[in-house]
Structure 1
Amino acid sequence: MLLGHGAAAQEAFPREPVQAVLAAALGAVLERHLDAAPPADLGLWTLRGLEVLDPQLKAEMQSGTLLLNAGDRLLAARPLPPPLPNAPPDAAAPALALGLAALFEAAWQASPLLRRAGPERMLRSGFEELFNHLDPYSRYLTPEEAQAARGRRIGQVGLGLRLAAGRGREVVLATVTPGGPAIEAGLRPGDRVIAIDGEPVSAQDLAGAAALLEGPAGTEVVLRLQRGGRRFQVRLLRSLLPPETVHVERRDDILWLRLDNFSTATDRHVLQALTEGFPPDGARATRPRGVVLDLRGNRGGLLGQAVAVAGAFLPGGVVAQTAGRHPDAARIYLAALGDRTAGAPVVVLVDGRTASAAEIVAAALADQGRAVVVGSATTGKGLVQLVMPLPNGGELLVTWSRVLAPKGWPIQGLGVLPALCTSLGEEATAAALARLRLDDPPMAAVLARERAARAPVPASEVAALRSACPPAEGRPGDAAIARILLTEPNAYEAALAR
C-alpha cells in the first residue's frame, strides 16, 4: 500500500495508513532497539522530522503533551498516556502512533510544503530525525527502496565493477568483473569515474558514489569516465550478476584470497579455494606456506557468511557473540567447519574501509591467535540490524544487538586494531617490523587494552586506542609485509595474540 509522494498523488491526508506505519515502526523500536528510549522522546523526535521539511513548524513537549506550532500559532496538541505498569516495552506504540498521526495530519493541513512533499516523505523525515538520536545504522526504507533492497538480498544487482579511491579525490574502477556489463562496455581497472548519472563523484564520499550505482535490474546508469587524456561516456544496463566476491591467486608460494564482500556464496568460494590449496590427501611439500586473507575495502555483508568464513580457518571455538536488550538478540556463533588450512599461518589485511562482517572475521582470527592482522584500525561497524516489514510495503532496519569479539570486546566504535600497523608511514612500519623480529610486539599494550574493553566504551578510550593506528586506506606495502611475516616464523609468532 503506497502512500503517494505529493498532493497530486494524494488529495486527503491518509491518516489511517500513516498511523499503521507509525505503530508498527515505533513498536519495533520500543521492543527491540539496542538502547531503550522513553515513548515520549520517540514521539517528540519523530514529530521534529516535520521541521526539516517546513522550518515554520515547531514541535515540543510540555507536561506530557506533544505540541505542534506554526510560528506563534498552536496547530494541535496531543497528550501522551502515562506508562502502564508491568506492560511490555511496545505497549505504548498504538497510542503514540494515534497521537502522532493526528499531529501529522494537522501539519499537513497547515503546510503547503508538507502537502507538496507528501506523506511518504513526511514519514521518512520523521524516522530520520528519530534515528539521529538513536544510532547511525537504523533507518527507514520507502516501499520502492525496500523492493530494491529485497532484490539485492536475493541476488546482487550490479554493473560488474567496484569503485575505489584514486589519487587525490579521484574515484577509479578498482575491479571489473568478467562477464559483467562494465567489461562488455570496454571499461578497465584504473579508469577514472568523473560522474554517475550526471552527478560528480569524489573519493571523499566513496559510499555516496557507490550508492549512485545501485538500482533495479534492467535499468540504465550513465558513467562519465576518463582514460589517460580522453574523456568518454558509457551507458550500462544493470543486470543480475552472480556474486563474484572471492578472488584467488597463488603467488610466491602463498595463497592470496581477496574478499570483496560477504554474499550468499562467499563461504563456498573460500572453501573451494582452501580445499584446492590444501587438499586433505595432498603432499605437505605442495601446500602453500601460508594464506593472506585480504579484507581491505570489504564493507561487510551477511553475518552467517562471516561466521562460516572465519570457521574455515579455526579448529573450533567462538567466532562472535551478539548482545542486546531483547532476549532473542543474545547469541553465540561457533566455528563449525574445522580448519581447512591444516594450521598454516594466516595474515589478514585490513584498512579503514574494512567493516561489519569483515571486521567479525578479522577479530575472530586475531582473538583466537589464528592470524596476524596487518594494516590500520578498521571502520568499527559492530551493530546488527533487524529488518522489520511495515504495512505500507516499506521496511525498518532496527539496530537491535552489538557484536562482541570472542574475548568479549565490542567491535562498534573500536574496530579491529592490527598487530602490525602500516598507517603511520613507511618508517614507522619498518620500526614495528624490527620490534617483532626481536619478539617485542609494538601493539601488544594497545591490543590488551582493546580486548579488556567492555561496552559501552567511553569515547575518550575509543579515541585513544584508535589513535595508536589511525584508519587509512590500504597501503601498497601491506602485501609485502604479509609476505615477510609468512616467511619469517619468529616475527609471525611474535605478532600472534597472547
Structure 2
Amino acid sequence: MPKPMIRAALALSAVALVPATTASMAAVDSTTWRELDQFLAVFERVRADYVEKVDDEALIKGAIDGMLSSLDPHSSYLDARDFENMRTQTDGAYGGLGLTVSMEDGAVKVITPTEDTPAYKAGIKAGDYITHLDGTLIYGGTLDEAVDQMRGKPGTAIKLTIVRPGRDKPFDVTLTREIIELKPVKWEVKNRVGIININSFSRTTAESVRAAIVGIEKSLGGKPAGYVVDLRSNPGGLLDQAVEVSDVFLERGEVVSQRGRQKGDIERFYARPGDMAKGLPIVVLVDSGSASAAEIVAGAIQDHHRGVVMGERSFGKGSVQTLLPLTDTTALRLTTARYYTPSGRSVQEGGIEPDIQVPQLSDPDYKTRPRFREADLKRHLINEAKVDNSVLEEDAKDDPRFKMTAEELKKKGVEDFQLTYAIDSITRLAKPLTVAASRPTGKR
C-alpha cells in the first residue's frame, strides 16, 4: 500500500478514538449507533428465529459483502479462500479453464478468457453468460460454487452452456481442464515487427516485457522495424507493473496520477530516463476487454505521443483498489482513488479511445456481439469531469480490407485483422503513424 494511504488509514483510526466535541458530531455518532443497534437486532433475530440454524461467520460475511456491494463493483471482502485465489492469479498456476468471471443478477458472466487456455481456444468471449455446468442450472448459486466446479483436475472434461447476446439460442461447449500457467507476456516477430502480447499485469509483467525486447532484438540480430504492444482482453492487475511497463517505452514524464477523496490526496508516478525501445514506432492494440492497468499504459503512450493506439474503445475502469489487510488471511479490497492519464484525462466510464478505429473484422460475430464495459456495470463510479474522449477521424478505412468479410479475410490468410493492420502500419511507416502527434494536449 502506498505510504500516503497507510498514513490516511492510521489517521482515520485515530479519529475514531477521539471523543465527540461538537453537537453535530454527537448527532452523527448517535445516528450511526442507532443504525448499528438495528443491525445487531436483525442479526440476533435471524440467529434465533430463522427456519434453519445459521452459522454466525456466514451471517457476518454476508453482511460485510452486502455493505461493500452497495459501493461500487470493484470493492469486496476477501476471506481466506478469496485471498488465496487472488494470490494464485498473480503468482501461480491452477487446473481449470482460463476464465475470469463475475456474478451479475445471479448469473455467471465472462469478463475475459485468458489467451491460450481451453476457454480461449473454444471461442468463449467476454460478455458470454454461463447458465449450466454439465447440464445443471447454476443460476442463483454463488460465484465461488461456480468457480469450484469449473476448476478441477487437469485432463477432465466439463460441459458449459453459453448464452451469448446477439444469438437466438444457447449453445454447449465441452472443455478439457488444463494447468493454467499464468504467463503475463508472450512475444514473436512478424515482418521484422516485434509483437509483445501482455495478457495481465502480475508481479513479473514488466520484467517479462524487458526480456521480450531483448529476445526480439536477438532473434533479428538487430533492431526491429517497430513494436506492437497488444493489450487486448487484458483485464489489468498491479498498478506498479503498469507504471513500469509504460516506463519501458517512455523517455521521461508522468505516467499516471491517482487522486483520492480529498483534493490534496494526489500521488503521481513518473517514468525514469531511458526508452528501451529506442524511439522505434509503437502501435498499442486495445479493445473493450482492455481495462485498468492496460488503460494506464495505453493512455500514457497516447498522451506522450510515443505511439499510436489502435483497435476499439477500452473498458473504462479508471479506479484504484487498495488491498487493506484485516488479518493474516483476510483483507478488504477497497476503491480508494481514481486515476488520470498524464494530460489529466479520466478514463472512468469512457475508456481510452483509439487514435485509429480498427474493428476486429476477422471475428464473424463482431457486428452483432455487444461490448460490455465499465459503464454497463451497476453502481459504477461516475466520471464527474465528463471528459471528451472522442476518437480522431482517420481515413484508415480506405484500405480495401475494411470491406471484406471474415471469411474473405481468412481466405487471404488474415486470422487477426487488428494485429495484421498494426503490423502493416509499422512496416509502411505511412500516415497512420503520424496521427498521435495531432492529439490535443494539456489538462482537460
Partner of 2:83: 146
Gaps of 5+ in 2: 1-7, 102-108, 162-171, 363-381, 395-414
Structure 1 residues 286-297: aligned runs within 5 Å: 286-297=222-233
Cα offset for 1:416? Answer: 0.7
> Residue 73 of structure 2 is aligned with which of 131, 136, 139?
136
Q: Give 1:127 deviation, angstroms.
A: 3.3
Which residue of structure 2 aligns with residue 457 of structure 1? 385
CA separation of 1:171 and 1:122: change in aligned 2, threshold 3 A: closer
Relative distance call for 1:317 and 1:160 in structure 2 (3 A) is farther
- Letter of the 2:247 partner, please give it: G
Matched, 1:409 2:345: yes
Which amino acid in the other structure matches residue 365 of structure 1? I
Shift of 1:150: 4.0
Q: CA deviation at 1:86?
A: 9.7
Give the TM-score taking structure 2 as reference length: 0.65
Q: Secondary structure at the match of 1:107?
A: helix
Output the CA distance in 2 between the equivalents of 1:92 and 1:274: 60
Residue from 415, 434, 440 that aligns with 1:493? 434
Distance 1:158 1:326 in 2: 41
Hey, what does 2:259 align to over in structure 1?
Answer: 323
Q: Verify: 1:265 aligned to 2:204, yes or no.
A: yes
Q: AA paired with 1:212?
A: V
Matched residues, number: 361
TM-superposed CA distance for 1:201, in Å, is 10
For residue 189 of structure 1, the aligned residue among 121, 138, 141 is 121
Unmatched runs of 5 consecutive residues or more in structure 1: 1-26, 33-38, 40-80, 203-207, 427-453, 470-474
- Aligned partners of 2:433 and 2:144: how far apart in 1? 38
CA contact (8 A) 1:319 1:333 kept: yes
Could you tell me whether the CA contact under 8 Å between 2:83 and 2:329 is conserved in 1? yes
Shift of 1:410: 1.1
TM-score norm. by structure 1 comes to 0.59
Q: Give the letter for the 2:159 counterpart.
A: R
Question: Do 2:242 and 2:294's aligned partners in 1 also have CA atoms closer than 8 Å?
Answer: yes
Which residue of 253, 260, 268 corresponds with 1:332? 268
Over the residues paired in the alignment, what is the CA RMSD in angstroms? 4.9
- Supply the distance in 2 between the matched residues of 1:399 and 1:195 (Cα, whole angstroms): 30
User: Which has the higher Rg, Structure 1 or Structure 2?
Assistant: 1
Alignment equivalent of 1:480, drawn from 420, 430, 442: 420
Q: Where does residue 317 of structure 2 map in the other structure?
A: 381
Query: How far apart are 1:386 and its partner, in Å?
Result: 1.5
Q: Does 2:205 align with 1:277?
A: no
Question: Cα 1:170–1:98, aligned 2, differ >3 Å: closer, same or farther?
Answer: closer
Q: In 1, distance between residues paired with 2:36 and 2:100?
A: 47
Q: Secondary structure at the match of 2:121?
A: coil
Q: Residue 72 of structure 2: SS of its match in structure 1?
A: coil
Residue 187 of structure 2 contacts residue 194 of structure 2 at CA under 8 Å; is this kept in 1? yes
1:274 Cα deviation after fit: 1.3
AA at the equivalent of 1:398 = L
TM-aligned CA deviation for residue 318 of structure 1: 0.7
* Cα contact 1:172–1:189 (8 A) shared by 2: no
The one-letter amino acid of 1:105's match is: F
Distance 2:37 2:110 in 1: 49
Rounded to whole Å, the distance in 2 between the matches of 1:310 and 1:423 is: 25
Instruction: Please report how far the alpha carbon of residue 265 of structure 1 lies from its aligned counterpart in structure 2 after TM superposition.
Output: 1.0
- Listed one character per residue, the Cα deviations across residues 126-178 of structure 1 (whole Å, up to 9, x for unaligned) are 3344334422211122333234334544x23323764599xxx999977447x
Q: Percent identity?
A: 25
Shift of residue 105, structure 1, vs aligned partner: 3.2
CA drift of 1:371 comes to: 1.2
The 5-angstrom pairing of residues 438-453 of structure 1 reads: none
Q: Deviations over 1:408-453 (max 9, x none)?
A: 1112212111011124979xxxxxxxxxxxxxxxxxxxxxxxxxxx
TM-superposition CA deviations, 1:328-354 (whole Å, max 9, x none): 952111112621111001000000011
Shift of 1:235: 5.6
Report which stretch shifted further, 132-141 or 253-262: 132-141
1:223 corresponds in structure 2 to: 158
SS at match of 1:417: coil
Q: 2:64 aligns with which of 119, 127, 132?
A: 127
